[in-house]
């Protein structure tokens, strides 16, 4: 067993963790983290949604319906990028006493420089999809905070590999798509920045260890990158 594998083996179980994918991707991309969480004893479910065709509000409502079919005493969430925004939108609705913790991976909680620049290109609003466009229409106007009644942890990346290389002006540090500053969530319980790119978070064992740490303890590990 490698050192990375050892860091995500064992640990106390949670009842159910719901994993939510991001834009332009299927739920299948969350299976590495689902597999690693199962190794630690967690029950796992994957929420699939139309990231382009449906609005943010519609997808959040669909997630709430999915949660209603989850028979667990406690429910945690892990969302990548847009998936994190859908989780936050759902959590802004009626409280559920079963909700415990949520981890956001590369989620642009405050704003998205890349999405705003691309939305200004003719034809790109259709490609970005209705969820992103709805979120952009109110992200700066309404502001966003971590919801009450649930602990939220934020994982950000600092390896600049990805879409941001062709979108001018993306602030540094960034994960290639989302700037570190854009991931800040007022009211979050903890946050950690890792030297990984946006999409690489989905297959990163270091991210897996941080996800497990937060879900199980409410804090990220003490082994922060220097």
- The SS3 assignment for 52 reads coil
Residue 224 lies in a domain: no
Cis peptide bond prior to 14, omega within 30° of 0? no
| pLDDT score at 224 | 61
Residue 223 lies in a domain: no
| pLDDT score at 6 | 42
Say if CB 189 and CB 152 are below 8 A apart: yes
Q: In this structure, what is the dihedral angle of CA atoms 131, 101, 155, 168, given to the nearest 10 degrees?
A: 20
Q: Which of 212, 222, 153, 221 is nearest to 34 (CA)?
A: 212
Residue 161 lies in a domain: yes
Residue 101 lies in a domain: yes
- pTM over 0.85? The answer is yes
Residue 226 lies in a domain: no
| pLDDT score at 166 | 73
**What are the backbone angles phi and psi of residue 100, rounded to the nearest 5°?**
-120, -65
Residue 8 lies in a domain: yes
Element housing 141 (H / E): helix 130-142
As averages over each run of 10 residues, the pLDDT of the chain (226 residues) reads: 45 76 97 97 96 97 97 95 97 94 97 94 95 88 81 97 80 96 96 97 97 97 66
d(CA 197, CA 194): 9
| pLDDT score at 89 | 96
Cis peptide bond prior to 65, omega within 30° of 0? no
Q: Can you give the residue range of the structural domain that contains 122?
A: 3-217
Say if CB 175 and CB 159 are below 8 A apart: yes
| pLDDT score at 7 | 46
> Hey, what are 62's tokens?
């669909």
Which CATH number is 89's domain given?
3.40.50.1820
| pLDDT score at 1 | 39
d(CA 62, CA 51): 12
For strands 151-157 and 190-194, give the pairing.
parallel
Residue 150 lies in a domain: yes
Tally of domains in the chain: 1
Residue 197 lies in a domain: yes
């Amino acid at each position: 067993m490698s050192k990375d594998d050892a860091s995500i083996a064992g640990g106390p179980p949670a009842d159910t963790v719901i994993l939510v994918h991001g834009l332009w991707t299927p739920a299948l991309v969350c299976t590495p983290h689902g597999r690693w969480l199962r190794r630690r004893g967690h029950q796992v479910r994957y929420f699939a949604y139309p990231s382009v065709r449906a609005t943010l509000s519609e997808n959040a409502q669909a997630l709430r319906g999915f949660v209603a079919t989850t028979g667990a005493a406690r429910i945690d969430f892990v969302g990548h990028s847009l998936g994190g925004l859908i989780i936050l939108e759902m959590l802004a609705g009626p409280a559920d006493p079963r909700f415990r913790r949520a981890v956001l991976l590369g989620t642009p909680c405050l704003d998205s420089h890349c999405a705003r620049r691309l939305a200004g290109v003719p034809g790109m609003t259709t490609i970005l999809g209705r969820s992103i466009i709805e979120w952009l229409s109110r992200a700066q106007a309404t502001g966003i905070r971590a919801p009450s009644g649930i602990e939220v942890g934020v994982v950000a990346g600092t390896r600049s590999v990805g879409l941001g290389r062709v979108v001018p002006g993306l602030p540094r540090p960034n994960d290639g798509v989302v700037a570190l500053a854009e991931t800040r969530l007022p009211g979050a319980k903890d946050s950690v920045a890792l030297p990984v790119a946006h999409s690489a978070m989905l297959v990163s064992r270091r991210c897996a260890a941080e996800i497990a740490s937060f879900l199980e303890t409410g804090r990220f590990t003490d082994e922060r990158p220097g």
